[in-house]
A and B are shown apart, each in its own frame.
Chain A
Amino acid sequence: DAGVIQSPRHEVTEMGQEVTLRCKPISGHDYLFWYRQTMMRGLELLIYFNNNVPIDDSGMPEDRFSAKMPNASFSTLKIQPSEPRDSAVYFCASSINIQGPNTEAFFGQGTRLTVV
């Protein structure tokens, strides 16, 4: 398996533009997580899905952020409109379980977003 695949790896956009980040989880993993990493705040969980259903979105910072998972092999994180303070590395991760055995989350390479 190629692991968790994220695209694009780098995104530079102007303030006010819509940004869409994409993720393909590992096949067979029922859980998908979106994280954001900045130097100031570290690694923060934004939202996670179980079997394509959003379970906890309490980490989503504002209504400008939205995430979807239309099927088991694809998820998007959208920011509209984007702001300079959204600049960060966004990671997608997936796991088989979140409790009990097989809870290890596998992370993608991340998308480095720069909003100018």
Chain B
Amino acid sequence: DAGVTQSPTHLIKTRGQHVTLRCSPISGHKSVSWYQQVLGQGPQFIFQYYEKEERGRGNFPDRFSARQFPNYSSELNVNALLLGDSALYLCASSSRFQTGANTGELFFGEGSRLTVL
């Protein structure tokens, strides 16, 4: 079975541009979360979507937005890119709405590495 897939794997943008990152969860998983991981740090929560509705938002500016489609895939959009947005963007899926109520287990994709010049 396919794991969590993300695209693109690498991309380079310039300041002020817009980027769209895509994620396909594991088949049957209805929850998709997005995390930002800056080099040398742990992943930081951006959004969670469950059953196509936003269920959680981290401490990120409104330049960050996301959505989930009827097939449970998801997009993360970032507008007006800043140098500080350079990071690995990770998508994670789970079968449960509340990760902690299950096993604390998220299934992560390989990520999209964004470089902003």
Partners in one complex: no
Interface residues of chain A, those whose CB is within 8 Å of chain B, are none
Interface residues of chain B, those whose CB is within 8 Å of chain A, are none
